[in-house]
Amino acid sequence: MIVLGVTGSIGMGKSTVSNMLKEMGIPVHDADATVHKLLAAGGAGVAPVGQLFPESLAQDTNGQGYIDRKVLGQIVFADAEKKKALEQILHPMVQQDSAAFRADMEQKGHKLVVFDIPLLYETGGQRRVDSVLVVTAPADVQKARVMARPGMTEERFNHVLSQQVPDAEKRTRADYIVTTDVSMDDTREQLKKIIDTILPPQKPRAAPPANGRH
């Protein structure tokens, strides 16, 4: 089975690309969604993260503990040491979850799966995949998309960018590139060509001769 890593800087359209891949029937493991699950009520990350950052611990209406991700984000936003401590808890959990996903999909006979990892190069995730697809767009398009998000500021945008491998470097290291400053149909067509390169369509077998004659 082939594992394709999908990554891209903030605002480049990575989530859109991952959703298109799902629509094409390719199983996708979403690292961000896994973190949300780990920090939600009943998640395996609640206890260790809550112990390290007790001010981020909250309770739902049933009295179950969960991590308030907004509070957590404010705590680690400008503190590199705290951010690193948080990553040391969550990254191994995400990797364990993706390994289980991979094994499950392989058992079910899938020939290709996708690991959607926003910080793929930043965390060494390229070592866990067979090839990498980078999602990109021009810098002005990227900024316009991100600044349109609720609560986004220039300072926050620049801080996020400073924590990520530059887009230009990602593109030089990529096996495949998809640009998203085009129509959705064009983006989808780029993806189809890449998937056909990774998994060439099988030609239908010729029908056997009638009555067994050649």
Share of the chain above pLDDT 70, in %: 94
Asked if the model's pLDDT at residue 211 lies above 90, the reply is: no
Locate the domains of the chain by residue range: 1-27+113-198, 28-109
Under CATH, domain 1-27+113-198 is a member of which superfamily?
P-loop containing nucleotide triphosphate hydrolases (3.40.50.300)
Q: What is the pTM of this model?
A: 0.89
User: What is the number of residues in the chain?
Assistant: 214
Phi, psi values for residue 178, rounded to 5°:
-120, 125
What end-to-end distance do the CA atoms of the chain give, in Å? 37
Asked if 28 and 114 touch (Cβ cutoff 8 Å), the reply is yes
Say yes or no: do domains 1-27+113-198 and 28-109 share a fold: yes
Exposure of 213 by Cβ count < 10 A (0-12 exposed, 13-18 middle, 19+ buried)?
exposed
Q: pLDDT-based confidence at 77, cuts 50/70/90?
A: confident
Q: Tell me the CATH class for 28-109.
A: alpha beta
Asked if the model's pLDDT at residue 81 lies above 80, the reply is: yes
Residue with tokens 């067979």: 130
